[in-house]
């Protein structure tokens, strides 16, 4: 287990799946990342709030990805065309799907 926020940040790229990995692998990564940051918040007290922020961000990304996966599965079960392609962890331009509008402008939530 990582005991510092810095250690957690350094660990994430090593745990991250390939950009082309299936959405379920990305979902597992996001959930694991959130859990690691929550654990760090309990241990690295000087970075408690920052680690909690990262845990909440990873949880939000995981929840959004899970909704996209569920929507794609429902569409597949109904035999209809798939909804917009699952965007994975980031949009094509590298921005996080959290807080981004479809028109390309950012919106804080």
The predicted model scores a pTM of: 0.71
Domains held by the chain: number: 1
Q: How far apart are CA 101 and CA 107, in angstroms?
A: 7
pLDDT tens, residue by residue, 23-42: 999 999 999 999 999 999 99
Contact 37/54 with Cβ under 8 angstroms?
yes
Average pLDDT, the chain: 82
Helices within 1-109 (DSSP H only): 5-15, 23-43, 48-78
Domain range holding 39? 1-109
Distance CA(96)–CA(98), nearest Å, equals 5
Closest alpha carbon to 62 in 38, 92, 80, 93: 38
């Amino acid at each position: 287990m990582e005991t510092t926020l810095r250690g957690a940040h350094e660990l994430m790229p090593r745990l991250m799946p390939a950009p082309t990995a299936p959405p379920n692998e990305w979902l597992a990564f996001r959930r694991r990342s959130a859990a690691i940051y929550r654990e760090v918040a309990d241990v690295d007290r000087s970075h408690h709030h920052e680690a909690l922020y990262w845990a909440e961000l990873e949880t939000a990304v995981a929840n959004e990805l899970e909704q996209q996966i569920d929507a794609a599965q429902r569409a597949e079960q109904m035999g209809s065309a798939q909804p917009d392609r699952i965007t994975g962890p980031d949009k094509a331009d590298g921005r996080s799907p959290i807080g981004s509008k479809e028109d390309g402008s950012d919106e804080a939530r």
